[in-house]
Chain A
Amino acid sequence: EAGVTQFPSHSVIEKGQTVTLRCDPISGHDNLYWYRRVMGKEIKFLLHFVKESKQDESGMPNNRFLAERTGGTYSTLKVQPAELEDSGVYFCASSHVRGTGASYEQYFGPGTRLTVT
């Protein structure tokens, strides 16, 4: 079974530019999550999709970030315009069922390392 994949693995852009990150969850996983780790800080939740619907976007830092999951399959996270503080590693995760404990283990992708210069 293919795991969660993310593209690109690395992105270096200039301040003010736009970047779009892509996540392909494990096939059949309705739940898709975005997280971010800024250097030296803990991983932070950004948002959660259930199929194509945004279930919880309370972690999105500001309106420069736009996440979509059209059709309930892959998801994109667009940053426009990018700022220096957006640099970090963006992880995507997916899970199958909703519930507690290990029944809803979130499987993580390898992350996209974003550097804004």
Chain B
Amino acid sequence: RKEVEQDPGPFNVPEGATVAFNCTYSNSASQSFFWYRQDCRKEPKLLMSVYSSGNEDGRFTAQLNRASQYISLLIRDSKLSDSATYLCVVTDDSNYQLIWGAGTKLIIKP
């Protein structure tokens, strides 16, 4: 079983729609959670950290469910520029390794 699992997609979504990504992780000791965004042939960039209380940044909302070991990312009013691969990342904080999901590809269509 993979440590971090994501639906690889692709998700084909019309511009303006709302899209949700889910991610599950296997290590219950995981302490920090992130969503990264990676454009084609580019480096991953931190989109947002995920806090236990949930957090929102503009059109993006992240949620964490520790009991179910589940993380989500919601994108509202999607833009063409949101097209990318979204990577779910966790760490257990005893080390500083980032444990990566394989990513979910999102394609926003006009």
Q: Which residues of A contact B (CB under 8 A)?
A: 31, 33, 35, 41-45, 48, 55-56, 58-59, 91, 95, 98, 100-102, 104-106, 108-111
**Contacting A106 at CB < 8 Å: which of B51, B87, B98, B102?**
B98
CB distance from B14 to the nearest CB of A (A): 28
Across chains A and B, the number of contacting residue pairs, with CB separation under 8 Å, is: 55
Scan residues 79-110 of chain B and give those whose CB is less than 8 A from a CB of chain A: 87, 93, 95-103
**Contacting B46 at CB < 8 Å: which of A48, A59, A105?**
A105
Instruction: Specify the main secondary structure of chain B where it touches its partner.
Output: loop
Measured as residues with beta carbon below 8 angstroms from the partner, the interface class of chain B is 20 to 34
Contact A48–B101 (Cβ < 8 Å): no
Q: Which residues of B contact A (CB under 8 A)?
A: 2, 4, 31-32, 42-46, 49, 51, 87, 93, 95-103
| 9 nearest A-B residue pairs (beta carbon) | A108-B43, A45-B97, A43-B100, A42-B102, A102-B49, A42-B100, A101-B49, A56-B95, A100-B32
A43 touching B32 in the complex, CB below 8 Å, given contacts A56-B96, A102-B49: no
Contact A110–B44 (Cβ < 8 Å): no
Distance A104 CA – B102 CA, assembled complex (angstroms) = 22
